[in-house]
Amino acid sequence: MNTTEISRPTNGNAVRYLAPPVEIFETEQALVLTADMPGVGPNGATVEVHDDILLLEGAVERTHGKAPKHFRRRFTLTDPALFDLEQITAKMSNGVVEVAIPKATKPEPRQIKITAT
Amino acid sequence: MLYALTETNPLEKFWDLRGDFERLFSEAFPFQGPENGRKAFVPALELEEDDDGLTLHVETPGVEPDKLNVSVNGHVLTVEGERTPPADDKAKLQRSERSFGKFSRSLHLPDHYDSEAIAASHEYGILTLRVPKKASAKPRAIKIESK
């Protein structure tokens, strides 16, 4: 089970997707999402971002002729302007995917010089 | 910034509904767990049997292998461990569906399994245990001798 690939279903109705349980929390720097996808390795997981949509997928190839297991869940960022979507990171460890969406850095407050006319 | 991540898939409504049922059910039959207010983590098990033995898959996502303990006492096989939450106390929790804490699951192995020869492996959050049948319990063909 070293290389697991997302196998695209030829018949969309044939695949049953499992919604992985998630934990979402906010730290000072980022919004962090963790999801349980046991059996999914780094090669079997995908995290996609389209505008304000975050799509999480994972596939587990299984032995003994059993159908592969598919995980899938989709989220919407309600206020994408608050985040730096270019800097999203994802890592996988022991079957848990962790996605960090860093908060956008606010520009420092500055004084505007008033010039006399 | 509450609910900065919300679900969009209309199919997910089904899961929400399922959650409602589960809540209803758990309110009617509260689980007397060791955790306070929070659902205890119970790893899912999958068992496969073949001619040579038993394969047991224990789903323990997020648990480091060194936090897992497998033991055999007589005929009882026990898997124990602890799942620690990723968020620290300072983080603001927005949604919590995963559960954490100490867990323990035990299985009684029938006599014809060789509890001395259990092999364990761990990959991507799944602990796999292989329990072979005792040689005497394996199916064998009896040769018919012709006179």
CB contact under 8 A, B91 and A53: no
DSSP state letters, A40-101: --GGGEEEEEETTEEEEEEEE--STTPPPEEEEEEEEES-GGGB-GGG-EEEEETTEEEEEE
Strand partners, B60: none
Contacts (Cβ under 8 Å, ≥6 apart) of B86: A23, A25, A32, A34, A96, A98, B62
Closest chain A residue by Cα to residue B128: A39
Span B39-67, pLDDT tens digits: 789 999 999 888 899 999 999 999 999 99
CATH of domain A2-102: 2.60.40.790
Tokens describing residue B140: 């064998």
Asked if B82 and B62 count as a contact pair (C-beta separation under 8 A), the reply is no
Domain ranges of chain A: 2-102
Q: What percent of chain A has pLDDT over 90?
A: 60
CB contact under 8 A, A38 and B61: yes
CB contact under 8 A, A76 and B94: no
pLDDT band at A10 (very low <50, low <70, confident <90, very high): low
